[in-house]
Amino acid sequence: MSGSGTNLQALIDEELPIAVVVSDRPGVQALDRANRADIATEVVDRGAFLPDREAFTDAVVDALRRHEVDLVAMAGFMTILAKGAFDAFPGRIVNTHPSLLPAFRGAHAVEEAIEAGVKVSGCTIHVATPEVDDGPILAQEAVPVLPGDTPDALHERIKTLEHSLYPRVLREFIQQLEAEEVGSR
């Protein structure tokens, strides 16, 4: 978590089973939201590991393992994780991104959509891979880009979609993992 944590709040409100909230910096709203909901938190400070992305990633993986996490849901986690995270949780890291992927990957997706003059944008929930904002798409929803839209206005409209879609998709993903586990017993 790096940002305001509204997607985390949506997951909390929908009562998804959250073992820990991991932030890449201290003092973010996501940590306050977790504390208020009595959810464990871990800060793995990106700044303390610069420039070593692998060591930072290893520390994130350690934190997740300490809390026996089965599925990792990224929500506004703006630090790119090294391959080690995807090896540790193969096919089990999910991300939400504020564009209709594969259009507008990266940290400036909303601004770039406006600059490109697209008439429709939206959000994408996908399985994350070492390639940023890549990986199998689980779900997408679209919103119109309105004349005169600012990046903030469009992002707010996209976030409203994320807040309902992300919990729903994660719940289905968890149910699928549970079914697979029962099937393999």
Give the active site residues. 97
CB of 178 to ligand GRF, least distance (A): 25
Judge residue 179's burial from the number of C-beta atoms within 10 Å of its C-beta, 0-12 exposed, 13-18 middle, 19 or more buried: exposed
Which of 88, 98, 114, 125 is the binder for ligand GRF (CB under 6 A)? Answer: 98
Does residue 122 touch ligand GRF according to CB under 6 A?
no
6, amino acid identity: T
Does residue 97 touch ligand GRF according to CB under 6 A?
yes
Nearest Cα residue to 181 out of 49, 163, 173, 100: 173
Does residue 157 touch ligand GRF according to CB under 6 A?
no
Count of residues of this chain found to bind ligand GRF when the rule CB under 6 A is applied: 12
Does residue 3 touch ligand GRF according to CB under 6 A?
yes
d(CA 37, CA 30): 11
CB of 159 to ligand GRF, least distance (A): 5
Nearest Cα residue to 149 out of 98, 115, 126: 115
